[in-house]
Amino acid sequence: MQPKIQWTFAASLITLSGMAWADEPAKPAAQAPTQTAPAAPQGPETTTTRVREPKAPITWSDPEIEKISKLLIGNWKSTAPIPEGADPKEAVEVAMFIAPLRSPDLTDLLYVESSRVDSPQAPYRQAFYQVYRHKNGLRLRTYEPLRQIGGALVGAWTNPDVFPSVSRRDLVATIDLELTPDGDGYSAKSPYPYPTGRLGAVEMTSEATIQPGKIITADKGFDSKGEVLWGAKGDTKFEFTKFEPDIKTMNRDGVWIIEYKRGDALKSAAMGDQITVHYLGFLESGFRFDSSLDRQPPNPLTFAIAEKQVIPGFIQALLGSNVGTVRRVYIPYEQAYGQYGNMRTRIPPYADLYFDFEVMRLQDGAPVAAPIPAMVGGQDPRAIPGLEQVGPDGKPIPKEQPKSPPANPQPAPSNPPAQPK
């Protein structure tokens, strides 16, 4: 079973101090805060000459591990509400998203994201699976993130190529399940109870059945007397089947956009509009460098969608959204702060960025007066016969009439009168 569901859009991340190393199977040796919008970069041009290296394709250790992993990969939905604790009234429909993820020192790693079906933008659990060979058999190991990496990984199942890799030092192993062939799939069971502290339990066991298009789980937590405290009581099991979530993805000039929710408003964001958003910003490490939700009280940010106002990638992320839209976006450094970074907001050079945002308000930008053409058909408009000048009221401007001379003009004297002496 999963930890208690978080009901807010952006749950707090718990950062553990210190460092621990997961007891995982080794990878085989290689063969030979101030509130600021994502402002546009200032100062030197951020165009860089750094070449982004293409990522190597994701591969598998052997055909059987690949088979099991691909049985797990996909978007899954519980066939019935699952209780999220000891109280069965707290049952909810659960979505589980599983995808391969790169690692510099772990093989065959899978990323697992669990959420309510109606709130995929706010996962309440992030975990990792790894199928590996143990003695003469196979095991499925689960990991939990040890560091703050989770903030950057939300949505990684949509496109692993634009999300950061995960190292063994970022994870802590939690439980193993022994895998046994079972028809077209596999059955899995923990070899013994594992210690846990979740929801008052002192130990837990886990069972699963993995079949094409179906996963069945039965996790149980026990108290010190051996009584089931949470999870599948008796012979109860929870079944997941594949589904297509109502989530849209887009790629705009390298900016990867995940649209979890769209509002009902008719107006969509365009250049020049004034927009108000709540947002969170993350580095690849998961470090949250800025958030409108960290203020007391939370204070959304209003700004114009315009060049020199925000970084180019954030403009791409906002365009087309409407009030109520919830998106997560990946912005490569080429569309962010480039080779200089932004030290004021603790963004280092060459930093890829991840943003979550929700549109709160959207207004048309100030109208811009149309420029007066200097030439019309290659001619000065003032010299075109019959072309009348029009004033601000839309009416023709009357032409000035030449002034007529006075009726009885007085000729100027030719010689001024003599002055008396």
Residues with active-site annotation: 279, 289-290, 311, 337, 355
Tokens of 10: 């952006």
DSSP 359-399: EEEEEPPPP-PPPPPS-BTTB-GGGSTT---B-TTSSBPPP
DSSP 3-state assignment of 292?
Answer: helix
Task: Give the chain's largest Cα–Cα span.
Answer: 141
Gap between the Cα atoms of 26 and 394, Å rounded: 79
Gap between the Cα atoms of 115 and 213, Å rounded: 19
Instruction: Give the DSSP H or E segment for 304.
Output: strand 301-304
Contact 362/322 with Cβ under 8 angstroms?
yes
Q: Using the Cα atoms of residue 340, residue 342, residue 346 and residue 347 in order, give the sign of their dihedral.
A: negative
Which amino acid belongs to residue 409? P
Gap between the Cα atoms of 339 and 49, Å rounded: 9
Cα–Cα nearest to 10, from 249, 310, 250, 300? 300
Which amino acid belongs to residue 17? S
Contact 307/335 with Cβ under 8 angstroms?
no
Contact 278/293 with Cβ under 8 angstroms?
yes
Chain centroid, CA 409 distance in Å: 85
Contact 164/94 with Cβ under 8 angstroms?
no
Tokens 């490569």 -> residue:
332
Gap between the Cα atoms of 407 and 417, Å rounded: 26
